[in-house]
Structure 1
Amino acid sequence: MNIELPLWPYVYGSPSGVGNIRSVPEDFIVVENLSFEPSGTGEHAFLQLQKTGENTEFVARQLARFADVRQRDIGYAGLKDRHAVTTQWFSVWLPGKADPDWTQLESDKIKVLQAVRHARKLKRGVLSGNRFKITVRDWQGDKVKTLQQLEAMKAHGIANYYGSQRFGHGGHNINKALAMFQGAKVGREQRSLYLSAARSFLFNQILAARVADASWNQALADDIYMFDGSHSSFKSEQPDADIIRRLAESAIHPTGVLWGMAKPIVALNALEQTVIDSYPELAQGLCACGVEMARRALRINVADLQWHFVDDTVLELEFTLPAGCYATALLREIIVLP
């Protein structure tokens, strides 16, 4: 079995233009927003770094060498794009030790913006969101349609697809997951990547089915809903007037399953079950690897979405998305992505 990435359906029609989003790193700017304020005291040094053209794991390794600590003593909240300018937090466990001179870490690609202490290691996912500033160059297209799509996304949100970078070039990571499930040996980092790709693919397939039948932002029988800005959820066998109202107000969102083991066993809705049954190798492999079931919102609100045509060929966008959500899920609605 070999899986090819499909072209998942769009919410707001086909893309209205073409353009380049990473001509230079400064065209893709990301700033992490922590969900808490570091306390100022504790064994962990929290560093806010601005990095250009470097991936998160490479910088984490540099930090470990610089501070003379183990790799596992470095924490970060999420992976960030390499081909970008990203402002990101890291933690370094320094029990009983003074901070080194962090300015010596700086280079033409890494700047230290803040250094503050905190009691606990920085954990994955503890962000309130990410702020993006993206410049689309060499833009060509239908400006009227683009503006209509942007207005619609600002008002009604976007489908919460995982971005193509989750799956590797051409979906490579999904097929590597299949090979791993069949016994291929992989390293620990690769194992995590492949499991994430397999589970994300199944989620995108579920979301795609609901986009296709226009239920991605509507209520179905046996749906589980997530509160906006929260991971808390609740189930409703049949939608009532209150659920329909809150969906219309974007206060809650339908969710899709992130497949894995569940104890006790959780029943899926009919659409989810159909998708999971269509990919038994992925579904069984995830469970065999001990991945735990979770939920993910099918829709997300786009906070403070702003846009500006600098000229006829340059479009600037600014917006904030919840942690774990992809800017490319918005961009794919208005421009054809490579």
Structure 2
Amino acid sequence: MHPPSLKTLPEDFRVTEYLGLETAPPDGSTHTYLLLWKRGLTTHEALRELAAAFAVDVQDVAAAGLKDEDGVTEQFVSVRGLLSHADIERANVPAGGGRRAWRVTPHGTGTAALRTGGLDGNGFRLIVRDLDDATAAVLAEGPRRHTHFFVNYYDTQRFGVPGGPKETHLIGGSLLAGDEDTALELLRRSGSAEGRQALEHRGPAGEFWRRLDPRVPVFYRCAHASYQWNAQVRDLLRENAAGEVADVDREGVPYAFATTRAAVLALAAHSPELDYVRYRWTDGECVRSTAARPTVLQTHISVHRVEPDSLYPGRFACTISFFLPSGGYATSAVHQWFVQARASSQDGAQGAPMAAVPAGGGHA
């Protein structure tokens, strides 16, 4: 089976955030909650834009999760203070035909800012493109709903922006080592919004890092911890998968993907969780802690349509949807789904991931 093509267009990758957000009447509330629709910019960029639009400090605008720029995403944002409908409308940028656009709508008010890690999960609706005839046939003729187990890796977007080098973990490692000069040089070649700011900076490196929204350097430290966590999980998978592993290099980031469901479940049985290092900006300082992260996630992938691909003549496109808990990466889930299916079709194994659930179950 041909590897899938994801995010060919921003509209191919749609994400909706789920958050049990407690609201309160405006009287006594300290924050306004907004639903942010965006395309073509990261969450950090969107927070900066909204802070400027509302004339507040960037640290007064917060989100519970980070969303990529190469998709169409919806997420919650909190803003310190009570905003009027006129304030909110003035902050909006028409979608138009440009790549970068966002819109916020009021969701309510409450007494607390959003915090990273408070997210419940995300719903995804993706168009997977450039599929060959064999893959399209399996998807079209198979069940509408599939149970999928996959290794819970941090995916490539954690380590760099689309088209840029995947080096956020190196930036984080340099910051953790106190080497702000190397971190700045790496940032300058990153292709990110912060990288563009770094290219314009002419003073000492430390001055640049202190001028940034402090949540941004914290993100790079987290990326370093994510890369280390991935390496530990790769080793554990190889130790427990009985050789049913495919080594995959994705944009310079190494992965080991299980080729069978049994290999994934063997990892889960041996090490259901693995501690990772977490960094957060809390009360004016970067706080380091550890927490358990599951090594394996389960989801249910629904197949909605299989049809000729208008962007790849002679190929096919498939629309799928699924839900992941906070911290799960849709791109990793889908790539591993196809790796397992391809291996099963090649060796004739029974119980392939794309034939795991009776047809018709749970189809939306």
Q: For the superposition of Structure 1 and Structure 2, which TM-score range results when normalised by the shorter chain?
A: 0.5 to 0.7
Letter in 2 for 1:313: F
- Is residue 2:295 matched to residue 1:310? no
Rounded to whole Å, the distance in 2 between the matches of 1:31 and 1:48 is 10
Per-residue deviation, 1:173: 2.2
- Is residue 2:28 matched to residue 1:36? no
Which of 228, 232, 235 is the matching residue for 1:206? 232
Rounded to whole Å, the distance in 2 between the matches of 1:310 and 1:180 is 48
- Is residue 2:313 matched to residue 1:299? no
Which of 114, 127, 151 is the matching residue for 1:122? 114
Rounded to whole Å, the distance in 1 between the matches of 2:10 and 2:39 is 7
**Where does 1:6-21 land on structure 2 (aligned, <5 Å)?**
16-21=1-6
**Percent identity over the alignment?**
27
1:31-79 per-residue CA deviation (whole Å, 9 max, x = no partner) reads 0011234234312110112112222122211211222211111111111
Rounded to whole Å, the distance in 2 between the matches of 1:192 and 1:25 is 27
CA RMSD of aligned residues (A): 3.4
User: Contact 1:77–1:90 (CA<8 Å) still a contact in 2?
Assistant: yes
Equivalent position of 1:74 in the other structure: 61
Letter in 1 for 2:222: S
User: Contact 1:132–1:318 (CA<8 Å) still a contact in 2?
Assistant: yes
Equivalent position of 1:255 in the other structure: 273
Rounded to whole Å, the distance in 2 between the matches of 1:314 and 1:213 is 36
Secondary structure at the counterpart of residue 46 of structure 1: strand
Letter in 2 for 1:255: E
Rounded to whole Å, the distance in 2 between the matches of 1:46 and 1:260 is 26
Rounded to whole Å, the distance in 2 between the matches of 1:251 and 1:37 is 36
Structure 2, unaligned stretches of length 5 or more? 96-100, 184-208, 243-264, 280-285, 309-314, 340-364
Which of 22, 29, 32 is the matching residue for 1:45? 32
Secondary structure at the counterpart of residue 38 of structure 2: strand
Letter in 2 for 1:300: L
Secondary structure at the counterpart of residue 157 of structure 1: strand
Which of 75, 81, 92 is the matching residue for 1:94? 81
Letter in 2 for 1:176: I
Secondary structure at the counterpart of residue 332 of structure 1: helix
Which of 170, 173, 189 is the matching residue for 1:175? 170
Per-residue deviation, 1:304: 5.7
Rounded to whole Å, the distance in 1 between the matches of 2:125 and 2:270 is 26
Equivalent position of 1:323 in the other structure: 326
1:132-164 per-residue CA deviation (whole Å, 9 max, x = no partner) reads 11112222364289659x97x943521111011
User: Contact 1:17–1:146 (CA<8 Å) still a contact in 2?
Assistant: no
Moved over 6 A (4+): 250-253
Secondary structure at the counterpart of residue 226 of structure 2: helix
Rounded to whole Å, the distance in 2 between the matches of 1:257 and 1:334 is 25
Rounded to whole Å, the distance in 1 between the matches of 2:133 and 2:293 is 33
User: Contact 1:19–1:137 (CA<8 Å) still a contact in 2?
Assistant: yes
CA pair 145-40 structure 1, distance change in 2 beyond 3 A: farther
Query: In terms of mean alpha carbon deviation, does 121-130 or 178-187 score higher?
Result: 178-187
User: Contact 1:260–1:292 (CA<8 Å) still a contact in 2?
Assistant: yes
Equivalent position of 1:197 in the other structure: 223
Structure 1, unaligned stretches of length 5 or more? 1-15, 217-246, 262-288
Number of equivalent positions:
260
1:63-119 per-residue CA deviation (whole Å, 9 max, x = no partner) reads 112222111111111110101111111111116x75543122222222234331111
User: Contact 1:49–1:114 (CA<8 Å) still a contact in 2?
Assistant: no
Task: Give the TM-score normalised by structure 2.
Answer: 0.62
User: Contact 1:34–1:126 (CA<8 Å) still a contact in 2?
Assistant: yes
User: Contact 1:260–1:291 (CA<8 Å) still a contact in 2?
Assistant: yes
CA pair 93-190 structure 1, distance change in 2 beyond 3 A: closer
Task: Give the TM-score normalised by structure 1.
Answer: 0.67
CA pair 178-326 structure 1, distance change in 2 beyond 3 A: same
User: Contact 2:15–2:72 (CA<8 Å) still a contact in 1?
Assistant: yes
